[in-house]
Structure 1
Amino acid sequence: MKAKYLNPFTDFGFKKIFGEEASKPLLIDFLNALLPNTYKIVDLTFKNNEQLGQTDLDRKAIYDIYCENEKGEKFIVELQKAKQNYFKERTVYYSTFPIREQAEKGEWNYNLKAVYCIGILDFTFDDYETEPEKNEVVHTIKLKNQHGKIFYDKLTFIYIEVPNFLKTDSELNTRLDKWLYFIKHLEDFQTMPNIFSDEVFSQAFEKAELAKFGQTELANYENSLKVYRDLKSVIESAFDEGKLEMIRAFKKAGASIDTIIQATGLTKEEIERL
């Protein structure tokens, strides 16, 4: 069945829904749903998403979305389609740009505005070995001391592992639940579900409807979708090749099928296929 709505994990789709001037109400609603209930964003201003270092030797950073609220607090919102080496280091590096740009010439008391780095991930971290962390959807990280007390509360990293979000439409209890359900399943919808009946989501569905795109927008989206699918294909192939080598090593060592299943996380059928 032909898709009616765009894929929000494409670069084009993500910026269409959250990164355009007309999309600000959607981005504000999403961020307010993600942040604590005591926090409320009233307005946002999009800023230049390309940040340059202070010298020619410094690398530059290009964000998906970079904005500032009415208090001057900074928000970097990144869509990450696939695992990559040093992803966490990259987000920490990105956070240094909105911190450094606050420096004032002359005498300055170093009173910084808060910085939030938000990553929407189309994959799961592989470094959580215990419950509940490995199944959690939202991870909020702040600088803390050895006693778990927050040392500095103006730098926050939030990672959203979308594949871990498994709720059905009847289980959506919060505004954030609805946004994550929308992001994860948008491309599969043929009509707007009744749970998305308010004005913000109506606007989101309208912006995502492919039939409303002009020829240029549609071509740009198709190119972005191809890049996304090609990337997924490469990742899946690499995953299969890695697992295959692991299976071969286990079999060569005489391991049982149960041992291979436990070590790889694959089913018996998947192992036989590989």
Structure 2
Amino acid sequence: MALEGLQERYVNFYTDFAFKKLFGTEVNKDLLISFLNALLSGEEEIKDLTYLNTEHLGEHEEERKAVFDVYCVNEKGERFLVEMQKAEQRFFKDRSVYYSTFPIREQGPKGNWNYELKAVYTIGILNFSFDDSDPNYYHHEVKLVDMKTMKVFYDKLTYIYLEMPKFRKTENELENLFEKWLYAISHLPALMERPKALREAVFEKFFRVAEIACFTQQERVAYEGSLKNYRDWYSIAETAEYRGWERGHSRGLSEGRAEGRAEGRAEGRAEGRAEGRNEEKRLIAENMIKMGMTVDDVCRITGLSMEEVENIRP
């Protein structure tokens, strides 16, 4: 495998290899602790984390298993699921809720128990946007709320989603440690040196660990493979979205001539986005099958049904 093609100084955070190296290893857990404390804005002050098994089985053998990106527990017994998602999935919210049931259920000990639970946090670092209603609203924090009083009903279950494409602050606009973390994550592969605004010692380590030149030969090979998978995924998704938009846009314009040009364009854009997403999922699934991934994994990642995936298989 050719390694000389790598031009960037630092890794792409959205590759599986980089995410797990930076946030999912014992030797670098201080990076994850800093990120989580900045994310939670003083609500939590995590002093230590212990990484837990990322593969969890259901209570019965026939039940579907869950494979987490990063799963850890702090010194208080609170659980943190940290997921990095490269592209939009049809049921990614459902997946988040489903995954959060595992750290809840595993807290139930054998024998007598009064049902007291420790807090569970599910955190998604998303390389896509799922909410088009507000281009500046990128930090979603979701809890169980009483709809009449609008007060938090249960504060031990929290879902946090970060729509990274919506974070557009420049280096000079960064106001706090949380924004500095988002800037570092989103700009990492485009940087050639550590930005002056990121003076904190934790970022000195972050950029040192992320520097490709410091990798072993084995790590470079692993990163190259992970980066290729990311680029293939991105290319397939972008092509599928464009093709779907092109067909929907053309159909919308055609219908718009009869029913009104403005209405036709709007409908074309809406249909194009929907058709593009479906075509994107089919193409991604087809490529994943060619890469040897299982039907279960393809369904989990794309959101397609097992029947839809089976129909794609050659």
TM-score of the superposition, structure 2-length normalised?
0.80
CA 1:262–1:136 in structure 2 vs 1: closer, same or farther (change >3 Å)? farther
| Cα distance in structure 2, aligned partners of 1:261 and 1:108 | 56
Which residue of structure 2 aligns with residue 188 of structure 1? 190
| Cα distance in structure 1, aligned partners of 2:155 and 2:170 | 34
CA 1:191–1:36 in structure 2 vs 1: closer, same or farther (change >3 Å)? closer
| Cα distance in structure 2, aligned partners of 1:94 and 1:234 | 27
- Please give the secondary structure, in 2, of the residue aligned with 1:219: helix
| Cα distance in structure 2, aligned partners of 1:206 and 1:258 | 53
| Cα distance in structure 1, aligned partners of 2:19 and 2:43 | 27
Of the candidates 29, 42, 49, which is equivalent to residue 54 of structure 2? Answer: 49
Amino acid at match of 1:197: R
| Cα distance in structure 2, aligned partners of 1:53 and 1:203 | 38
Of the candidates 241, 244, 248, which is equivalent to residue 242 of structure 1? Answer: 244
| Cα distance in structure 2, aligned partners of 1:238 and 1:226 | 18
Which residue of structure 1 aligns with residue 234 of structure 2? 232
Of the candidates 8, 31, 39, which is equivalent to residue 13 of structure 2? Answer: 8
Deviation of 1:146 after TM superposition, in Å, equals 1.6
Equivalence map 1:45-84=2 (5 Å): 45-84=50-89
Percent of aligned positions with the same letter in both sequences? Answer: 49
Q: Deviations over 1:129-156 (max 9, x none)?
A: 3x4xx53111000011222121111000
2:176 pairs with 1:174: yes
**CA RMSD, Structure 1 to Structure 2 (Å):** 1.7
Equivalence map 1:86-97=2 (5 Å): 86-97=91-102
Which residue of structure 2 aligns with residue 145 of structure 1? 146
| Cα distance in structure 2, aligned partners of 1:6 and 1:262 | 40
Q: Deviations over 1:253-273 (max 9, x none)?
A: 2154896379639xxxxxxxx
Structure 1 residue ranges, 4+ long, deviating more than 3 angstroms after superposition? 255-259, 261-265
* Deviates most, 1-10 or 154-163: 1-10
| Cα distance in structure 1, aligned partners of 2:23 and 2:145 | 31
Q: Deviations over 1:1-29 (max 9, x none)?
A: 92000000000011111111111110000
Residue pair 2:85, 2:126 contacting (<8 A) in 1 also: yes
Which residue of structure 2 aligns with residue 197 of structure 1? 199
| Cα distance in structure 2, aligned partners of 1:261 and 1:97 | 42
Amino acid at match of 1:49: T
Of the candidates 109, 119, 122, which is equivalent to residue 117 of structure 1? Answer: 122
CA 1:174–1:263 in structure 2 vs 1: closer, same or farther (change >3 Å)? farther
Aligned residues: 261
Amino acid at match of 1:100: R
CA 1:33–1:262 in structure 2 vs 1: closer, same or farther (change >3 Å)? farther
Which residue of structure 2 aligns with residue 213 of structure 1? 215
Residue pair 2:120, 2:156 contacting (<8 A) in 1 also: yes
| Cα distance in structure 2, aligned partners of 1:152 and 1:238 | 41
Deviation of 1:91 after TM superposition, in Å, equals 0.5
Of the candidates 89, 95, 104, which is equivalent to residue 109 of structure 2? Answer: 104
| Cα distance in structure 2, aligned partners of 1:109 and 1:16 | 38
Structure 1 unaligned blocks of 5 or more: 266-274
Which residue of structure 2 aligns with residue 35 of structure 1? 40
| Cα distance in structure 2, aligned partners of 1:145 and 1:88 | 20
Structure 2 unaligned blocks of 5 or more: 1-5, 271-314
Amino acid at match of 2:104: I
Amino acid at match of 1:116: Y
Residue pair 2:254, 2:264 contacting (<8 A) in 1 also: no
| Cα distance in structure 2, aligned partners of 1:223 and 1:257 | 46
| Cα distance in structure 1, aligned partners of 2:182 and 2:50 | 23
- Please give the secondary structure, in 1, of the residue aligned with 2:245: helix
- Please give the secondary structure, in 2, of the residue aligned with 1:33: helix
TM-score of the superposition, structure 1-length normalised?
0.91
Q: Deviations over 1:12-51 (max 9, x none)?
A: 0111111111111100000000003232111100001111
| Cα distance in structure 2, aligned partners of 1:36 and 1:192 | 24
Which residue of structure 1 aligns with residue 276 of structure 2? none
Deviation of 1:53 after TM superposition, in Å, equals 0.8
